[in-house]
Amino acid sequence: MTDITAAGTYALGERSVNRMGYGAMQLAGRGAFGPPKDRAEAIAVLREAVAAGVNHIDTSDYYGPYVVNQIIREALHPYPRDLTIVTKVGARRGDDASWLPAQSRADLTAAVHDNLRNLGLDVLDIVNFRVMGGGMGRAEGSITEQFSTLAKLREQGLIRHLGVSNATSAQIAEARAIADVVCVQNFYNLAHREDDAMIGELAAQGIAYVPFFPLGGFSPLQSDTLSAEANKLAATPMQVALAWLLKRAPNILLIPGTSSRAHLRENLAAAELQLSDEVVARLNTIGG
């Protein structure tokens, strides 16, 4: 069995979590909407992930919606004491599977209570406020009202820690002026590296950086260079892409997602893959 502790740990709130985690979005149906094709397999994936040492799971009640959190509860409740479940609020799903903003005080409060109910928790470990932009783009503008709403819910004891997702540097600073931020979850991978400077700044502040779509998302990473390096290492391109992220900075926490146990094992194996500085230099030519 893969030893995912080979990738190290990092502080997430008051806990130390393994840097190789798991993202639950793909446990819903296509496009993170509706029920999974195989609910039993979804449950098996979660249980195997935790058995393998995963103690950081990323989710949201708008995956499904509600479906993924209900599957997590069925598979893992009562939860292991060292398991950190991170969720997101700030969006909702339309009947056509569209992603819509849900960022009023009432929306955010309802979303927190929905997450609590569907996960079967009295308090949420970490809640990220998801800033809604177009596609993978980021929207400028103040998040003071939204983050202040979540900070008040934290003061009420419903949330332990807060983070932000899809946020600019200015929005992160704005959030930190309101309450502690323990993690930032943004779009980042080997080919999309807009946040290169931000990652270092967050590391200096002891804040975890959690890249979503670490393997490209709905359009998987494709690169001749990546494939060539993977062949030399007797690994898959996606394993190399994950190993590159682990090498990139110590505050990067990974949450690759899958609905397959076989794919889960492949992802977790990247925790043991060592990349030389020469390999990293060649991979660095892919993105920018």
30-62 residue pLDDT tens: 999 999 999 999 999 999 999 999 999 999 999
For 163, 166, 232, 244, 273, the CA distances from 248, given in Å and listed in that order, are: 21, 20, 20, 6, 13
Q: Is the peptide bond before 65 cis (omega within 30 degrees of 0)?
A: yes
Flag whether the pTM goes above 0.75.
yes
265 φ/ψ sector (left φ>0, alpha ψ -120 to 50, else beta): alpha
In-domain check, residue 226: no
In-domain check, residue 288: no
In-domain check, residue 61: yes
pLDDT above 80: residue 111: yes
Find the CATH number of the domain harbouring 22.
Answer: 3.20.20.100
Residue that is written with structure tokens 């079967």 in the block: 120
Q: Is 66 a catalytic residue?
A: no
In-domain check, residue 31: yes
Q: Which of 10, 63, 79, 209 is catalytic?
A: 63
66-75 residue pLDDT tens: 999 999 999 9
In-domain check, residue 189: yes
164-195 residue pLDDT tens: 999 999 999 999 999 999 999 999 999 999 99
CA distance 84 to 15: 8
pLDDT above 90: residue 216: no
pLDDT above 60: residue 120: yes
Buried b (16+ CB within 10 A) or exposed e, 187-208: bbbbebbebeebbeebbeeebb
The pLDDT assigned to 288 comes to: 63
pLDDT above 80: residue 218: no
Domains: count for the chain? 1
For 77, 157, 229, the CA distances from 84, given in Å and listed in that order, are: 13, 16, 34
Domain span holding position 188: 10-221+250-260
pLDDT above 70: residue 163: yes
In-domain check, residue 157: yes
CA distance 87 to 121: 12
In-domain check, residue 280: no
The pLDDT assigned to 160 comes to: 98
85-110 residue pLDDT tens: 999 999 999 999 999 999 999 999 99
The pLDDT confidence band at residue 136, using thresholds 50, 70 and 90, is low
In-domain check, residue 78: yes
The pLDDT confidence band at residue 156, using thresholds 50, 70 and 90, is very high
CA distance 258 to 23: 8
